[in-house]
Amino acid sequence: MEKREIKSFTLAELKEEMEQLGEKPFRAVQMYEWMHRKLSRGYGEMSNIPAAMKAKCGENYSYTALRTVAVQESGLDGTKKFLFALADGNVVESVWMRYKHGNSVCISSQVGCRMGCRFCASTLDGLVRNLTPAEMLDQIYAITLETGERVSNVVVMGSGEPLDNYENLLRFITLLTDENGLHVSQRNITVSTCGIVPVMRKLAEERLQITLALSLHAATDEKRRELMPIANQYTLAELMECCAYYFEQTGRRITFEYSLVRDVNDGQTDAQTLASLIRGLNCHVNLIPVNPVRERAYVQSEKRSVEAFAAFLQKRGINATVRREMGRDIDGACGQLRRRFLAEMNEG
Ligand code: SAH
């Protein structure tokens, strides 16, 4: 049987595990602190833990510590993109961005993705596997150590569909917000989904104070189905009702993500349809000029179309902003760095 990961246990669970190994609860507290606060890369540095206990832990659990394979730094804005190797040899990418209000990390939730969005590089080879809670956390831990700076915001917007890995996502959030760990505030966590309605409802009922971002990208079912296969399963009407429910349950305003693709969804009529679709919802619209992906034919909207689109929404009282593009020079779009790395490995 595969060993369980010691870094995926909550403190309460770790206490129980340690008890079963014949250790005192305070040892669990010490161990938890080494893992989740001091961000140890292994048992070696845990100076106040007895060697016998370390050995027992080593026998019984695996210790997740991602290995940095590559780092790219943007010459434009200091954004850093990390490629990490998991214990089984798979690789995932994460992005570190510095903003005025603090440092933000964008993490992956799966290796690959099975959602099939047409403009996205992460999904080109389908889903390989889910990431565990410890593997999601350790992207943040490894980056904190590499940069030497505190991470204040976390967005689950890298490769993968977080709501397709729901139980691990919830546990990840529990660990990340734990006061005995990095203690990131729920309000500083954003989870982005392509819109899996029943799971969004379940999440609403958790009543977390995180931000839910919905990847909308089109304002009619017909157009959305062209861009996102998930739109064949859930209509926009269902999605909008679900967003209203999310707000009702959590009091948190939804963020709509809308990637602008030239001549596909960036016209005045599109803006108008979008405005009517989301009228009355407590929301914020994030406009993102689509990141061109080599394997895909989509072209970025022109600057003036983006500005006109934003202005149109704003005039109708809709809170809309254009996302600053970070790290354009370093394979900015989801999944691009990983793809390039895998391609080079295969060539080599
Ligand atoms: N699966 C989740 C989260 C990962 S994708 C989701 O669908 O929301 C994070 C965001 O980046 C989504 O809004 C996604 O639609 C968008 N995205 C993916 N590829 C992109 C590209 N090439 N250009 C612009 N946005 C892209």
**pLDDT tens digits for range 52-106:** 999 999 999 999 999 999 999 988 888 999 999 999 999 999 999 998 889 999 9
Both tokens assigned to 250: 């959590």
Looking at ligand 1, which residue's alpha carbon is closest to its atom 20?
A: 120
Average pLDDT, integer, range 135-152? 97
Cα angle 51-172-92, degrees, rounded to a multiple of 5: 90
Tell me which amino acid residue 181 is: G
Whole-number Å distance, alpha carbon 182 to ligand 1 midpoint, is 26
DSSP β-bridge partners for residue 300: 261
For residue 83 and ligand 1, the question of a CB distance below 6 A is answered with no
Question: Is 2's pLDDT higher than 90?
Answer: no
Residue 269 contacts by C-beta under 8 Å, 6 or more apart in sequence?
none
The CA-based diameter of the chain, rounded to the nearest angstrom, is 68
Q: What is the pLDDT of residue 333?
A: 57
- C-alpha span between 76 and 137 (Å, rounded): 27
pLDDT tier, 150 (very low <50, low <70, confident <90, very high otherwise): very high
The pLDDT of residue 332 is 58
Q: How does residue 341 score in pLDDT terms, banded at 50, 70 and 90?
A: confident
Query: Per-residue DSSP letters for 46-99?
Result: -TTS-HHHHHHHHHHEE---PEEEEEEE-TTT--EEEEEE-TTS-EEEEEEEEE
Q: What confidence tier does 346 reach under pLDDT thresholds 50, 70, 90?
A: low
Domains along the chain with CATH numbers: 4-62 (1.10.150.530), 67-347 (3.20.20.70)
Task: State in Å: Cα 215 to ligand 1 middle.
Answer: 7
Query: Residue 331's pLDDT is what?
Result: 65
Q: Which of 120, 164, 234 to mutate to test the pocket of ligand 1 (most atoms within 8 A of CB)?
A: 120
Q: Select the more confidently predicted residue: 296 or 245.
A: 245
- Cβ atoms of 163 and 200 within 8 Å: the answer is yes
Segment among 175-179, 186-190, 269-273, 301-305 with least mean pLDDT: 301-305
CB of residue 142 inside a 6 A radius of ligand 1: no
Q: What whole-number distance in Å separates Cα of residue 346 and Cα of residue 135?
A: 25
Q: How far is C-alpha 311 from the chain's CA centre?
A: 28
pLDDT exceeds cutoff 60 at 348:
no
Contact status, residue 293 vs residue 120, Cβ threshold 8 Å:
yes
Q: Say if residues 86 and 66 touch (Cβ distance below 8 Å).
A: yes
Residue nearest to ligand 1 atom 21, measured at CA = 291
Give the active site residues: 93, 334
In this structure, of 67-71, 186-190, 269-273, 321-325, the range with the lowest mean pLDDT score is 321-325
Beta-bridge partner residues of 211: 190
Residue 120: CB within 6 Å of ligand 1? yes
- Count, in order, helices (H) and strands (E) of the chain: 11, 14
Backbone angles phi, psi at 124, to 5 degrees: -60, -35
Q: What are 182's two structure tokens?
A: 């990095």
52 Cα: distance to centroid of ligand 1 (angstroms): 46
- Give the position of tokens 């734990």: 178
Round the average pLDDT of the chain to a whole number and report it: 94
- pLDDT at residue number 260: 95
Q: What's the N-to-C CA distance of the chain in angstroms? A: 34
Residues in the chain: 348
Q: Whose CA is nearest to atom 18 of ligand 1?
A: 120
| Cα of 159 from ligand 1 centre, angstroms | 8
Q: Which of 276, 260, 273 is nearest to 220 (CA)?
A: 273
Which of 288, 299, 325, 336 to mutate to test ligand 1, by most ligand atoms within 8 A of the CB atom?
Answer: 288
How far, in Å, CA of 148 to CA of 321, rounded? 31
